[in-house]
A = this chain, B = another copy of it.
């Protein structure tokens, strides 16, 4: 595989994968870049260019084989295995995350949860034992956790993320609404409803 694939291209692959899964479930076997573009509100040229980083998938006149492209994108995205995740922060948001039914079917499994609230430590929520955050480092290693989900209050988020990185975590999904800094080599994705809203008000304000 070629190196130096732009991050923005990688960030679009999951959306392609999602659309292909939907097409598969609808029983559609082939799709053109134009058809895929219409569904995703993107230009066909953009889709073809993005995919060209990873090889040659389509066939002139026939389009992409939905199931083949779906399978190849899964492989490219590293989704041909199960990823072990740990949750830090089991407040209301953390409990909604533990309860979320969307992770498992996509190969993401929450195998550990951490809290500093003594009332929660030792309890089970959605089948996951809540552990003392003081045991973070050893437990993450024991359970071979790949990815951490951070759902602590904003004031604690940076400290928690620093601890996770120190414990060897290389990917963090952060729900706390702050600008977090991580060292190079660590992936960070923020789930931030306010940023998403602010991207829409620009258009609303213009009518």
Using CB atoms and an 8 Å cutoff, list the residues of chain A in contact with chain B: 8, 10-11, 13-15, 17-19, 22, 39, 76-79, 81, 83, 85, 92-93, 95-97, 99-100, 102-103, 106, 108, 146-147, 149, 154, 170-171, 173, 177-179, 181, 187, 189-191, 193-206
* Chain B residues whose C-beta falls within 8 Å of the C-beta of A177 in the assembled complex: 102
- Please tell me if the beta carbons of A202 and B103 are within 8 angstroms of each other in the complex: no
Number of copies: 2
* Chain B residues whose C-beta falls within 8 Å of the C-beta of A92 in the assembled complex: 95-96, 99
* A193 and B102 in contact, given A171-B203, A202-B76, A203-B187 (Cβ under 8 angstroms): yes
**Interface secondary structure of A, over-half rule:** helix
Residue from the set A22, A102, A103, A202 with the largest chain B CB neighbour count within 10 Å: A202
The residue that A201 contacts in the complex, of B22, B83, B181, B191, with Cβ under 8 A, is B83
Considering only CB atoms, which chain B residue lies closest to A81 in the complex? B205
CB distance from A175 to the nearest CB of B (A): 8
- Please tell me if the beta carbons of B204 and A171 are within 8 angstroms of each other in the complex: yes
